[in-house]
Amino acid sequence: MLINNINIPVQPLLIGKFGKSYGILGWITIFSFTEEKEKIFDYFPWFFFKKKWTKVQVKNWKKYKNHFIVYIKGISNRSDARELTNLNIVISKHTLPKLKKNEYYWNDIINYKVVNTYQHYLGKVIDLIRTKNNDILIVSNTLAISKKNIFIPFIEKKIIKEINSNYKLITVQWNSITPYK
C-alpha cells in the first residue's frame, strides 16, 4: 500500500467505515455515519488505524446504490483496496463546523448525566438512535431493580427540557420507574 503518513487525527471522531473493494482498479465502498450521508465528503482529511494512524487522500468518489465508492491516492488495485475493508474512517474533531449557541453534536452528549424534572438521577447517555419519527436517547439505568436501559424520545422542549453543556447534564420530562412494594 502506498499511502504516506506523518499526521494523526486530533480528538478522533468516527464518521464512516470502509467496506469491500469494488472492481479491479482499487475503488472501495464506504458507509457514511454522518446525518446526511453525502456530508462525509465535507470532512477531510480522513484517517484509519491499522497498527498506526494513516492519512487518506480521496481522489474521487461516486454514489453507488445505498452507499458510496471512493478512489484513494496510492490504492491502484483490488488487493490494496481489500486491506482497508472494515476499517473505520476517522477525522479530527476540529474539522467539524463550529456550532451556534445551544447547538451540539450527538457525540458530545454521550456520557452526559440525565435527570428528570424532579431532579431524580436516571443515568448517563450511552447512545442515540435515529428513527423515522424522532431520535431516541439511550440512558444507562441506575435503578438496582432493573438493569435495562431507558429509551427517551428526543423531542426538544416537550421531553428534553434542557441540555446544559457546562455541567454535562440533560433534564428530561420523564418519570423514573418506581419499584413495586
Residue 158 clears pLDDT 70, i.e. is over it? yes
pLDDT digits (tens, 9 = 90+) for 28-45: 999 998 888 999 999 999
Percent of the chain at pLDDT > 90 equals 65
Examine residue 12 and say whether the peptide bond preceding it is cis (omega within 30 degrees of 0).
no
Q: What is the pLDDT of residue 144?
A: 58
Predicted local confidence at residue 143, as pLDDT? 66
Strand order across the beta sheet in which 121-129 lies: 150-154, 135-139, 121-129, 113-116, 169-172, 160-164
CA pair distance 112, 166, nearest whole angstrom: 10
Assess whether pLDDT exceeds 90 at residue 70: yes
**pTM of the predicted model, to two decimals?**
0.73
Q: Which domains does the chain have, with CATH numbers?
A: 12-95 (2.40.30.60), 106-172 (2.30.30.240)
Query: Would the pLDDT of 16 be above 80?
Result: yes
pLDDT in tens, 106-152: 888 999 999 999 998 899 999 998 888 889 999 998 665 667 899 99
Single-letter code of the amino acid located at 7: N
Mean pLDDT of 86-105: 88
The dihedrals phi and psi of 56, each to the nearest 5 degrees, come to: -115, 135
Query: Looking at the predicted structure, is the pLDDT value of residue 2 above 60?
Result: no
Asked whether residue 54 carries a pLDDT value surpassing 80, the answer given is yes
Q: Which of 121, 127, 126, 160 is nearest to 143 (CA)?
A: 121
Residue 177 pLDDT: 56
